[in-house]
Amino acid sequence: MFRQEPVKRPRAIDSKKHWAGVDIEQLFYPHRLNFYNTPPTMEITLDEFEQWAIDRLRILGEIESCLYRNMTPKELSVAMKDPLKNFLPLGANTAVGGSKPQDGRANKRQEERRKDHYSHYILRLAFARSEDLRKRFLATETVLFKLRYNSDDDKERREFIEGLGFDWEYLSFEEKAAMREDLLAGTGTKSNDADAVFEATFFKVDWERVYDLVDQRKVLLRGGKAYVPESQQPSLVIAEFTARLEKALEAYLTISIQLTARALPRLDEDDRLIPILNHLSRGFTAPEYNTGTIATTLNGASLTAAVIDDLVQYFPMCMRQLHTTLRRDKHLLHNGRLQYTLFLKGVGLSVDEALTFWRKAFSRIDDDEFQKKYRYNVRHSFGLEGTRRNYKPMSCQQILTERRPAANQVHGCPYREVAIDNLVVGLGTMGISDRDVIRHVREDVEAKKYHVACSRVFEHTHAKELKREKEASGGSGRLTENIIHPNEYFIRSFGLKNPGSVEATTSAAAPAAVASGVSGQSMELD
């Protein structure tokens, strides 16, 4: 006899009890900028929960990578322009002709701000659980706020700051007169600009709140207080943002996590919240690639098995490693085959050409063995066998975090899996001997920034082409976004080396894979 386990169903929510003490109403966002002082309380759908968080995560990942690549503030602002526009747009009131809620375009702005608000809180939930993630979240959110602050409309920025009700103490005329010489010296003002001291507004704040200004000796320090001129107000506002967020994150495990979880009913009730949050926090290792199928046409011709060897020069290190091992051993183990087959499918190899490719590559076995052991799996990857799912090429996140290779396997991301000295040898085979680049790659790898290392290698091996692109388009001469998908690496590489030759199509993917915390890649083993 079998005992039937009861099916766990989400408990019905007593909404009065659930929301007791919480003000439930759709917030109106008068400003583009947000200090995120109030948690959101309205319900959102599971899809919105996932997609909004993934979009913000992509932005934070990009910011982190830009910082790690030592971009100047100007370069960072250029590099973040497109990602922000694509994944987390946030328009100013003036851009839509008013902030009245009844204005159609203003409603769009409200939606953007709602997404910004919710996604911030979802990632707080995801990253509040470890010290390292909290620090990274704080640093990247601060940069994001700074980017938006600096690009905001003057009038709106002023209104936003006034609305925050800061407890900054203003210096009176008498105080300024009494401290005139010190203020001149402390702020680096020249004596012939002395009148400026009296015309400018000064704030008096605890020195810890403007640590960077103190560090740069841009303010006068006296009795534990910093005297900040109005010209340094952005630093003051940004420092305030950081301080408040830091405090909120510290208190998070005890208070806010409960409040935010409560603000997202059903998710915590039916156990779907935690896998999503876990998956999101893994996303800081490598951002989620948010596209579906990738098909590439090279020079308008269909791709054949015979040209793969010629294309390896455009492959990222993970795929080069698989290809080299395949050519050397005339064989690849299952996970390596799966990773490489899906990549080649994304490059544009048809199922017939893929079968030809693998048959020729496995030259130590006969036709019969190939048909029995391997044909099915290749066809399965193309959705022609078994569950007939259309498997997508694996993203860096999947490669980095799922199916980690065992000792004798060569799939996965080499920046993560290969010992550093062997990795340097691998870099040599890609033509990299520059000591600075190798040193930076070592640092990236030590800091577990694998996709940053890969992007750095891409930039170095395509420096000439990126420079040409920069001259033609006025770009930055760098990748505008980090490499987060091997097929993206290939498309960019081939396109740069053969201008006008690539036609790549992508389609938006449903975020369902993130919901379950799995990639959806699953194949029968031989």
Annotated binding-site positions for [4Fe-4S] cluster: 318, 396, 413, 454
The reply on whether position 437 binds ligand SF4 by CB under 6 A is: no
Shortest CB 482 distance to ligand SF4, Å: 9
Shortest CB 304 distance to ligand SF4, Å: 24
The reply on whether position 486 binds ligand SF4 by CB under 6 A is: yes
CA pair distance 309, 390, nearest whole angstrom: 26
The reply on whether position 316 binds ligand SF4 by CB under 6 A is: yes
Phi-psi region for residue 412, left (φ > 0), alpha (ψ -120 to 50) or beta?
Answer: left
DSSP assignment of 196-225: HHHHS-EEEEEGGGGHHHHHTT-SEEETTE
Which of 33, 54, 454, 514 contacts ligand SF4 by CB under 6 A?
454
Closest Cα to residue 403, out of 462, 342, 464?
A: 342
- CA angle 24/48/105 to nearest 5° reads 80
Shortest CB 164 distance to ligand SF4, Å: 40
Shortest CB 86 distance to ligand SF4, Å: 20
CA pair distance 59, 85, nearest whole angstrom: 10
Whether 462 and 454 have beta carbons less than 8 Å apart is answered as: no
CB nearer to ligand SF4: pick between 79 and 396: 396
Helices (H) and strands (E) in the chain, counts: 27, 6
Closest Cα to residue 285, out of 22, 522, 37, 64?
A: 64
Residue 88's identity, in one-letter code, is: L
Count the helix, strand and coil residues of the chain and give each as a percent rounded to the nearest 5: 60, 5, 35
Q: Could you tell me which stretch among 84-92, 174-182, 192-200, 481-489 binds ligand SF4 (CB under 6 A)?
A: 481-489
CB nearer to ligand SF4: pick between 260 and 401: 401
The β-bridge partners of 246 are none
The reply on whether position 490 binds ligand SF4 by CB under 6 A is: no
CB nearer to ligand SF4: pick between 141 and 488: 488
CB nearer to ligand SF4: pick between 340 and 374: 340
Shortest CB 320 distance to ligand SF4, Å: 9
The reply on whether position 146 binds ligand SF4 by CB under 6 A is: no
158-217: which residues touch ligand SF4 (CB under 6 A)?
none
CB nearer to ligand SF4: pick between 249 and 286: 286
CB nearer to ligand SF4: pick between 34 and 339: 339
The reply on whether position 483 binds ligand SF4 by CB under 6 A is: yes
Q: Could you tell me which stretch among 128-136, 204-212, 446-454, 471-479 binds ligand SF4 (CB under 6 A)?
A: 446-454
* Helices of type H across 308-449: 308-311, 317-329, 334-347, 351-361, 367-373, 375-381, 396-401, 414-417, 420-429, 435-446
What's the distance, Cα to Cα, between the start and end of the chain in Å?
Answer: 35
Which of 84, 396, 466, 496 contacts ligand SF4 by CB under 6 A?
396
The reply on whether position 317 binds ligand SF4 by CB under 6 A is: yes
CB nearer to ligand SF4: pick between 49 and 343: 343
Which of 145, 252, 358, 415 contacts ligand SF4 by CB under 6 A?
415
Count of residues that bind ligand SF4 according to CB under 6 A: 14
Q: Could you tell me which stretch among 40-48, 267-275, 305-313, 449-457 binds ligand SF4 (CB under 6 A)?
A: 449-457
- 43 Cβ contact partners less than 8 Å away, ≥ 6 residues apart: 264, 265, 266
CB nearer to ligand SF4: pick between 241 and 415: 415
User: H or E element: which one contains 495?
Assistant: helix 486-497
Rg over alpha carbons for the chain, rounded to the nearest Å, is: 27
Which of 115, 120, 451, 460 contacts ligand SF4 by CB under 6 A?
451
Which of 52, 68, 284, 489 contacts ligand SF4 by CB under 6 A?
489
CB nearer to ligand SF4: pick between 268 and 417: 417
Which of 227, 450, 469, 493 contacts ligand SF4 by CB under 6 A?
450
3-class secondary structure, 226? strand
The number of beta carbons lying within 10 Å of the beta carbon of residue 109 is: 22
Which residues are documented as binding site?
Answer: 318, 396, 413, 454
Question: The tokens of 273 are what?
Answer: 């919240």
CA 304 vs. chain centroid, Å, equals 34
The dihedral over CA atoms of 219, 220, 221, 226, expressed in degrees to the nearest 10, equals -60
CB nearer to ligand SF4: pick between 90 and 317: 317
Q: Could you tell me which stretch among 13-21, 272-280, 411-419, 503-511 binds ligand SF4 (CB under 6 A)?
A: 411-419
Query: What is the binding site for ligand SF4 (CB under 6 A)?
Result: 316-318, 396, 399, 413-415, 450-451, 454, 483, 486, 489
